[in-house]
Amino acid sequence: MTETASLITAGLTAAAALLAVLAALLLAGRAARAAGIGQRIGRRLSIEESLQLDGRRRLLLLRCDDRRLLLVTGGAQDLSLGWLPPEGPPPAALREAGG
């Protein structure tokens, strides 16, 4: 009976040690994120907007450096709708037309 009790005690000790290590890793990760450690500065790629079109498809507005791309995902294949013109003052033709 003492051999069984010692096995149970060893198993509980190992489980408690594993939980303690996992909790320490979780806390260290949260502390690092809160301190800003590991964050990439000057990210080049980001999702600016996301719009659910239907149950499967989504329209994404992606930014890479100073360029923006419209992308439809979730269908049979992803579809690039194209690059948008850079932001800034409207072209001269639109200014003359009053737009």
Residue 91 scores a pLDDT above 80: no
pLDDT band at 40 (very low <50, low <70, confident <90, very high): low
Neighbouring residues of 69: CB distance < 8 A, sequence distance ≥ 6: 61, 62, 63, 80, 81, 82, 83, 84
Q: Mean pLDDT over all residues of the chain?
A: 85
Q: What's the pLDDT at 62?
A: 93
Going from the C-alpha of 12 to that of each of 16, 17, 21, 69, 75, the distances in angstroms are 6, 9, 14, 54, 49
Distance separating the N- and C-terminal Cα atoms of the chain: 88
Residues 47-52, mean pLDDT to the nearest whole number: 93
Residue 23 scores a pLDDT above 90: yes
Domain ranges of the chain: 1-39, 45-87
Element (H, E) at 62: strand 58-64
Computed from CA positions of residues 91, 93, 95, 99, in that sequence, does the dihedral angle turn out positive or negative?
negative
Q: What's the pLDDT at 89?
A: 63
